[in-house]
């Protein structure tokens, strides 16, 4: 797989000017994006809400796992 398209993305930089609420979810068994990345992102924004969800990379969207909302 070509990983060049995602190698330069910086979530911390992308959120620096954002002043709204931030909720960061990390999937406990994610083998694509390790949960450590979500923990580092959450630590960069002390006011953020960090949650660990069960499952892997593509499990979060299954019914009943995560409730999405648009403020």
pLDDT at 9 (0 to 100): 81
Domain regions of the chain by residue span: 22-64
Greater pLDDT, 5 or 23: 23
pLDDT at 49 (0 to 100): 94
pLDDT at 8 (0 to 100): 76
The predicted-structure confidence for 11-67, as pLDDT tens digits, reads as follows 899 998 998 899 998 999 999 889 999 999 999 998 999 999 888 888 766 776 666
Give the closest residue to 35 by CA, choosing from 18, 15, 11, 55. Answer: 55
pLDDT at 57 (0 to 100): 83
Structure tokens of 46?
């002390």
């Amino acid at each position: 797989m070509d990983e060049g398209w995602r190698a330069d993305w910086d979530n911390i930089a992308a959120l620096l000017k954002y002043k709204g609420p931030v909720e960061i979810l990390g999937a406990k068994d994610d083998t694509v994006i390790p949960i450590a990345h979500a923990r580092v992102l959450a630590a960069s924004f002390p006011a953020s809400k960090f949650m660990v969800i069960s499952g892997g990379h593509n499990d979060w969207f299954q019914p009943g796992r995560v409730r999405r909302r648009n403020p």
